[in-house]
Chains A and B, each alone.
Chain A
Amino acid sequence: MNSFTYTRATAVDAAVREKSADDGVKFIAGGTNLLDLMKENIERPTRLVDINTLPLTTIDSTPEGGLRLGALATNADTAWHPEVEKRYPLLSQAILAGASPQLRNMATDGGNLFQRTRCYYFYDLATPCNKREPGSGCSAIGGYNRIHAILGTSESCIATHPSDMCVALAALNATVRVTGKNGERTVQFADFHRLPEDQPQFDNTLAPDEIVTAIDLPNEDFSQNFSYLKLRDRTSYAFALVSVAAALQLEGNTIKEARLALGGVAHKPWRDSAAENLLKGQPATEETFRRAAAAVLQDAKGYGHNTFKIELAKRAIVRALKQAAEGTQHATEAFKNSNP
């Protein structure tokens, strides 16, 4: 680990000023991702600005009737917040599907957006990686890529964004509130993360000195028919091979409104509006779900070890939509009940 200095931020604009004045500055929130990356010598900040002192920890209603999650609200406090549980249970489910209780107690909602990929090569300084060292090459293409992306990849990078929370935020049409040198702005969640293209070193579209202050959830009701389905190599404490956030509004058996986003398959949470449109106005049947699933994956590309994800994602979409339509939870719930 490099040596670095450490200061506490006093105000949002002061934090932004500190960061824009010095390339070596990194904000630290829960530290659950940043510190690991520093120990691995992948992130090498010369100065840490601790933003935990900023007054961004609350979860409040917005004037439009939605909910505002402060950037420094912890993942645990968010998942268990009564309003989130009641109105945005998809988000609660997604958060609780990730990491461990200890980590969720430390991890912040803002930090979760910025967590970096879990690509093996990104983590191993002995191997080339365009994301870590632009221009050095992508070792995962042609290498071991079991956990890698099948959608929106480029010749430069096939890494995935590992977050669970962000998949639900994408499905729920969240907005990110950001403050930079030129003041405040909002970013649609779909525009927050980016595809790798030929610049995989950039995970998102923010300017380096911008800070996330809050995440807004719109005043929409997906509290009845939703499902967050996460498939992984063990039952807990593993990143998603494929995850699906599905949310529906039904009128009888007809789909009025649909949301569909995938995790573990792309460089960003993969929301597919075209597939959502295929669902709208259709009966909530397996047939409909299959059509949507096929549409999401129609341009998918496997790289060898991860090719199974294409079929897995299709099946996961169908299952998640089915669970959403039936108002039942994750598949393992049923199993848990049969084995107390």
Chain B
Amino acid sequence: MSTTNYIGKPTSRVEGPAKVTGAAKYAAEYNVPDLAYGYVVSSPIAKGKITKIHADEVRAIPGVLQVFSHENVPSLAWFDRSYKDDVAPGGSPFRPLQGAEVKYSQQPVAVVIAETFELARYAASLLRIDYDVAPHDTDLETKRDDGFEPGRGKTGWVPPPKPRGNPNEALKNAVHKVEGEYIHLTQHHNPMEMFASTVEWLGDKKLKIYDKTQGAFNSQQYVTKVFGLSKDDAQVISKYTGGGFGSGLRPQYQLFMAVLASLELKRSVRVSLTRQQMFSFGHRPHTLQYVELGTNADGTLAALHHHALHETSQFEDYTENVVNWSGMLYQCDNVKLTYQLAKLDVYTPQDMRAPGAATGSFALEIAMDEMAYAAGLDPLEFRLRNYAERDQNADKPFSSKKLRECYHEGAAKFGWDKRNPEPRSMRDGNMLVGWGMGGGVWDASIQKCAAKVTLTADGHLNVLSGANDIGTGTYTIITQIAAETLGLPLEAVTFTLGDTTLPEAPLQGGSWTAASVGNAVKETCDKLGEKLLKLAQKMAGSPLKDASYEDVQFVNGQIRLNADPTQAVVIRDVLPASGEKELTVENTMMPNPASQLTHSLHAHNAVFAEVKVDPELGTVHVTRVVNAVAAGRILNPKTARSQVLGSVVWGISMAMMEETVMDHGFGRYMNHNLSEYHVPVCADIHDIEVIFVEEEDDKVNPLGIKGLGEVGLLGVAAAIANAVYHATGKRIRNLPVSIDKLL
């Protein structure tokens, strides 16, 4: 029996002890010497011009070091491209403190730097700023007819495919038809950790930057381009991230401010945002969707039309894939998918967990439920009848697709066959019981990634890659992969990440980290293994002399012959015998373009939800959720399960609570705190069951991983809304399903 088989085994987080003992440090926790503190001043108006900043009054306060605003910021990079980060959408990125123009409410307009945080905050509260107010428009409802098709998107955005078949004609001729409008307001990421940057001034314009980000290299790139620094002079470190959910994919403005202040004052500076300011940047956009479905007499989909319109800022065209999934999830020959943006006086939206797909699947999967009722079919049976065996958008086969198994295993676990389809037919005492389902599809992506591994003479393996772990379990799964590849115990492997002096890794997003960093580390470890084998073959009396790399296995601290595992060399003995102090391989993994060209690479899920509704009061409890996921190989069922549990909680939150509400009179979000922006508490969460169906995939990438950060969220909100319909007979197409909508 091998004890160094770790891949696929439930493994506790290797960084767990550091986190629970407080040894794990976050960006705002590096207490470097002689630190100054910044506090950001945010605009109270949504649009207009700053006419005067009465900064001198504040500068006069003892202990205040400086007030930075557009009035005194030195000239910085000129071209837009310098401000573009890895995932910047088309347009001109917002430049903090550069220009008197106010483009959105809560725009940062100044930063006060002082000897203490408390003083900075106090001084900021005294800063008087005069504005010329201009009329603003923040209401997407007024832009229903003003949408435009974006010509330029951001990385990863795919314009909707051209219509296929004849959707209009097919809709006209369909036997059953449904149509509906689906709406959700803006939602904000609100990771637990607030954005913060601690910039350590090392003298002579050399900085060490501790940043809250989902990509240290992205932050570094931004800082070097905007401030004209060399990479050597702007090391970015991000060892732990207290949640990101996409909010850390773009450098946030506190990074700009902390670097600016540090360079100008020649001093170490920290700038952290407040919870209220966590509502002052990217968000899931307010989106209006329209879905129209038609079926034939046998319940097969005859036509599908999905349209989405969402907000973006005046300065950038944020794009996400909202409608494309609808052309891929079900077999349908007549499909029209359309997608538009509308410009408002708000900040640019930003990727938020399963961007686009969480939005699109909410609408499509409610519409599918409506259609199932219209066609007199069980919602599960209806989906099975329209199962897509091929990706019709791309006209390619799937590299693997076990969605059918998700449906079957999920339904069995849930007890779906006991469902009485009639709305209001099921009860538990006085409570109405409802069962609903949904699901979705998400990209299995992979990005170029570099890694470096070093085996030391004492048998310890150091694995280095500048990736980020945003709480997803990256530290752990990479340790597992490296340990298993080289047959070492977990304790003999240390994975170091989150530092721009390490080999470059992609941003932590898009659910591609496990695949990208995992395959890079696997490939690099294999290369090291080959070198190690060569050295082992040179050892006196080596039983491996004639073996190729394929002939041996790295297991239990040994290199063994496959043919006769008793013939082995102990790994710890190899380097001492060879006289080498250590063995190092650095390598960049390039994704295999062939499988991307020939196959459609996607993960899928199916969600079943139970709600109990008080018929008079309209209170809803989501009592049970089963989420069955097909996402290729599961590296660590424990951290994987946590990802999907978190997705389900998020889905409950999206379905039942989350909305950032704008007062359009002020053009300002009014519930910008966690007291009034509700997310679930423990009492809102009940039974959640996670199922990983087996899905082997040798095409998607060598390790067969599809990523798990996002797929689990798909269809959860729809499943709950569908369950609410089943319980009450009320169709809610407007999230969240709050108490007022059920009275």
Q: Please tell me if the beta carbons of B621 and A118 are within 8 angstroms of each other in the complex.
A: no
Q: Indicate if the CB atoms of B668 and A127 lie closer than 8 Å.
A: yes
Q: Are B686 and A331 in contact (CB under 8 A)?
A: no
Instruction: Considering the complex, give the chain B residue whose CB is closest to the CB of A306.
Output: B740
Nearest-Cβ distance from residue A196 to partner chain B, whole angstroms: 20
Complex CA gap A7/B673 in Å reads 31
Query: Is B739 a contact of A312 with CB atoms below 8 Å?
Result: yes
Q: How close is B507's CB to chain A, nearest CB, in angstroms?
A: 33
A2 touches B122 (CB 8 A): yes
Find chain A residues with CB under 8 A from B668 CB: 124, 126-127
Known A-B contacts A123-B673, A127-B668; A234 and B684 likewise in contact (beta carbons under 8 Å): yes
The majority secondary structure among interface residues of chain B is loop
Which stretch in B227-235, B364-372, B454-462, B609-617 binds the other chain? B609-617
B-contact 0/1 string along A206-241, CB 8 Å cutoff:
000000000000000000000000010111111101
Interface of A: prevailing SS: loop
With contact pairs A233-B739, A315-B743 given, residues A334 and B44 touching in the complex (Cβ less than 8 Å): no
Taking the nearest CB of chain B, how far is it from the CB of A320, in angstroms? 10
The verdict on B663 contacting chain A, using a C-beta distance below 8 Å, is yes
A143 adjacent to chain B (CB < 8 Å): yes
Give complex CA distance A236, B683 in Å: 6
* B687 proximal to A (CB < 8 A): yes
**Chain B 648-669 near chain A by CB (<8 Å), digits 1 or 0:** 0000000011000111011010
Q: Are B428 and A338 within 8 A (Cβ)?
A: yes
Query: Across the interface, do A235 and B684 meet the contact criterion of CB distance under 8 Å?
Result: yes
Give B544-574 as 1s and 0s: 1 = Cβ < 8 Å from A's Cβ atoms: 0000000000000000000000000000000
Within 8 Å by CB of B740, from A126, A143, A234, A308, lies A308
Cα separation A238 to B739 with both chains bound (whole Å): 14
Q: How far is the CB of B660 from chain A (nearest CB, A)?
A: 11
Give, as a whole number of angstroms, the nearest-CB distance from A235 to chain B: 4
Q: Mark A160-172, 1 if CB is under 8 A from B, else 0.
A: 0000000000000
Question: How far apart are B296's CB and chain A's nearest CB, in angstroms?
Answer: 41
With A127-B666, A316-B617, A319-B616 known to touch, is A235 a contact of B683 (CB < 8 Å)?
Answer: yes
Q: How far is the CA of A231 from the CA of B105 in the complex (A)?
A: 32
Chain B residue, CB-CB nearest to A124: B670
Interface presence of A274 (CB below 8 A): no
Cβ–Cβ contact A1 & B122, under 8 A? yes
Q: Could you say which interface size class chain B belongs to? A: 35 or more
Q: Which residue of B lies closest to A334 (CB)?
A: B429
What residues on B are CB-neighbors of A315 within 8 Å? 616-617, 743
User: Beyond A120-B671, A339-B686, is A3–B743 a contact (Cβ under 8 Å)?
Assistant: no
- A292–B656 Cα distance when bound, in Å, is 31
- On chain A, the residues within 8 Å of B618 by CB distance are 312
Residues of chain B within 8 A of A143, CB atoms compared:
663, 665-666, 670
- Measured between beta carbons, the chain A residues less than 8 angstroms from B121 are 1
Q: Does A144 contact B (CB under 8 A)?
A: yes
Does B192 have its Cβ within 8 Å of any Cβ on chain A? no
A21 to chain B, nearest CB (A): 25
Contact A144 B670 (CB under 8 A): yes
Contacts of B687 in A (CB 8 A): 339
Given A144-B663, A233-B657, A312-B739, A335-B612 contact (CB < 8 Å): yes
B46 CB to closest chain A CB, in angstroms? 10
- CB contacts under 8 Å to A, within B684-704, are 684, 686-687
B118 within 8 A of partner (CB) = yes
Selected contact of A235 from candidates B118, B662, B681, CB within 8 Å = B681
Which residues 1-26 of A sit at the B interface, judged by CB distance below 8 A? 1-3
**Shortest beta-carbon distance from B621 to chain A in Å:** 6
Residues 602-632 of chain B: 1 if any A CB is under 8 Å from the residue's CB, otherwise 0? 0000000000101011110101000000000
Known A233-B739, A234-B657, A235-B683: A339·B617 in contact at CB below 8 Å: no
Closest to B673 in A: A123
Chain B residues with Cβ under 8 A from A142's Cβ?
665
A41 CB within 8 Å of chain B: yes
- Asked whether any CB of chain A lies closer than 8 Å to the CB of B732, the reply is no
Residue of B612, B662, B668 with most chain A CB atoms under a 10 A cut-off: B668
A121 at the interface (CB under 8 A from B): yes
The answer, yes or no, to whether B431 is at the interface (CB within 8 Å) is: yes
A123 to B430, CA, bound (A): 39
CB distance A331 to B122 under 8 Å? no
Q: Does A311 contact B (CB under 8 A)?
A: yes
Inside 8 A of B665's CB, which chain A residues have their CB? 139, 142-143
Residues of A within 8 A of B428 (CB): 338
Q: Which residues of B contact A144 (CB under 8 A)?
A: 661-663, 670-671
B738 touches A (CB below 8 Å): yes
Residues of A within 8 A of B (CB): 1-3, 41, 118, 120-121, 123-127, 139, 142-144, 146-147, 231, 233-239, 241, 308, 311-312, 315-316, 318-319, 331-332, 334-335, 338-339
8 contacts between A and B (CB under 8 A): A118-B676, A123-B673, A143-B670, A146-B661, A231-B619, A312-B618, A335-B621, A339-B686
Which 8 pairs show the lowest CB-CB distances between chains A and B?
Answer: A126-B44, A308-B740, A235-B683, A120-B670, A236-B683, A143-B663, A237-B681, A236-B681
Q: Name 13 extra pairs, CB < 8 A, besides A1-B122, A3-B122, A316-B617.
A: A1-B125, A2-B122, A2-B125, A118-B675, A120-B676, A126-B105, A142-B665, A143-B666, A146-B661, A234-B656, A235-B621, A312-B618, A334-B429
